[in-house]
A and B are shown apart, each in its own frame.
Chain A
Amino acid sequence: MKPRVSHKGILLLLVSGLAAALALAAVSGRVSLSLADILTLTRKLVAGGGDGLAELLPNEQVFLWIRLPRCFMAVLAGAGLAVSGAVYQALFRNPLVSPDILGVSAGCTFGAALGLMLPLSGFGTVHLLSFGCGILAVGLTAGLARIIAVKPLIVLVLAGMVVLSFFNALLMVVKYFADPYNQLPGIIFWVMGSLTRVTWTNTLFMAPFALAGLGVFILLGFRLNILSLGDIQARSLGLNPTLFRRVLIVISSFLVAISVSTCGQIAWIGLIIPHMARTLTGPAHEKMLPVTALLGALFLLLADTAARSLFSSEIPVGIITALTGAPIFAFLLFKNRGTGWI
């Protein structure tokens, strides 16, 4: 049971890995830019202040206005999705759930697509609708599972499937009515998951919420262990599980919504990253959540870098995460068979 590498060692390793990945992401892409160029740019900006912005070379502009916010968003969204997956798994006492499986992502996607299509809806409406539908979806899933009330582990997954299909159907309705020239291509590309729409505006809008959500979860890590024991034991240990669960579900659905409404549906991160983190540090959430956040950030950053630099034209990052995530999950299922994992 004692890990070979200490917890601090793992964190240090992941932080340096993330720094290296950020450096890699900064220099990859169709517009070439070396690390030395970035240093020159930084010096220029620091020395010139606001004036420095006016005299940028084209490749420096690409880096500053497109690549950099995109890298930060990948870090935020990756960490947010992974941690919300881990929190759902603890709250529902089920290692098989994730924002995708509970229908939260589908709900958020529908809400955001609706927001994009409605006339006169701005930035805030898209986020708000996405969040509202995400909460509605997880509420429906949990409610349905509660009414059925047998074999909780499997029924929750099945209830999620019902809700997910329903919201996917609603999404199809939105697609059907969308303007095929102006709106449809955008919606489709975005449903597949992509960070192409990311700008400093939405990154800076999302950052405080995402960081606050992550902070709350990491602070409440130990309480999540208690909640994962189930209601009776949580109560006997002095915790009010109903209140906690509601608050935590709202926060994690919010994390998913802000990620989905800017980056679309990026599947699998919320399911596999928590499992990988648990393998590294054990199940205690106070240790496992920071590792989950870093792993999620690293995974999405690398996937996005691959998505925009592997081929001559960019492919949706959701394809990369699904192509790598599905086999990894299949491997985890195989490796953990018979350990009481499912």
Chain B
Amino acid sequence: MSTMTALARALAVEQGVAQPIATVRHVHISDRPLVFVPLALAGEANAPLAAMVGDDRSDPHLLVVAQPRNRDQRFAFAAELARIFVLYLELFFGAEETVPVGRGGEQRTRYADAPQLLVPNQGGIEFVALLGRSTRFRRAEGEWAVDPAVPVLGQWLSWLAGRAENPASSMLLAMTGALARHWASGQSAVEDQNLAALAGWIDPPEGMTGQQAAAAAEDPLTWPPAGPATDPTFDNEVLARLIENAARAEGDERAERRALRALTEALRGQIEPAWRLVWKSADLLRALPPGEHVARRWDDDKDAFSLYAAYLREGGAPQPRRDSAVTAARRLAWLERETVRYAAQRAHDDPLVMAEQRLAGEAFAGQVIAAEPGRVVGSGRGRKLRPLITVATTDPVAIEEGTRLVSPSRPGQNAVLVSAAPAGEGLTEAVLELSGGMGYGLIAPTGTIPEVGEQVCFATLADDWQPHGELPLPEDTPWTHGGPPVPYQPADEDVTEAWS
């Protein structure tokens, strides 16, 4: 993420504390998130070992799987987790809000707020995706019945993991990633994946530098890993014995209880620090003022949540294992649009993010030194108002003539770079032709266009997207892409799929 962030890291090293790389918050942090800290057994694809989950930091639920390889116990874990999750979701089904649709005065409703799942790191997101995958195809009846809440949990988790691929969405957040978007530590991005180390840089304990806090965070005895992977030494020296004790105690009720308690407490010790860290990270982020577009992006999340909840209520099928050709292309277009919009919105909301654009010559800021607000082009009925302004800037302008630019303070207005010429003493004079956002007449109302003396900023990054054109219906998938996909039929093999 380039020179500005690199410079901030260098500053962090020198100052002994992480340096801001954002002046506002670019993610939504809910007032009532559900924090989820999972631990998985080493060596398996997705064998839950324990999880701490809850929406109240002082009252976590701790779920433990005494025999992680036992299928029944795994599904019991999933069922318990599902119950907690569904209870949390129901908090959001109560309140609705109305939103306008287009400009015709029509309205629609959606939920007034949406759930938010917070996990410690990227591994947590992958755990959510895998757990979703391993549970969403199960069924509540038949030979391999599971608790009816389990496949619902699976669909929700898979859906959330899908939203997490979109940088503009905040429904499922990895705290390491969220923190790293706002602070540069004095260590590498690789080391930033350790939540304790990153948090140690951002908010070191009294009397410690960021370096010292991060070094302490690397000791698994002081800071057990935030999961899902456990510390191998803990596995070998503590966990193995406790799991074996719990297995051997089967049959003897008292011994069983004792063994389970010992196992639970050991796992609690491993998870609790990460639990506290996730809440603390949310606090750190909440302390930043939100960027202007954060609410708008959260609205998109609310819309998506409302739509998916309706889909599930109507008995919607679980997500297929892999995307078909049309689904994949549609999703790619969506991700591209969201990625471009998110990058543009962050720059428009945050001068420190815009600074990176300015450094690269892709944006510039300066003062308006001349203006022709009444300039009109065309003739007769085709006459259009096209004001010109000249901006003097010391930024290096590397934009081609004819490029369209946008100003954060007037997002509805287009500016085309007419020319950018050096004017001595490191100054560049950029001439811009403006259109849009100035009413419909041939005179621009006051304030709609920049005036001489105004400080302005123009960037190539814009919050819009060119449509690519129509995608065919899935049943019309052409021969080039293998023809139409076989429609999903829930099969027995989904239900009997081993989770061993």
Q: Do A and B bind each other?
A: no
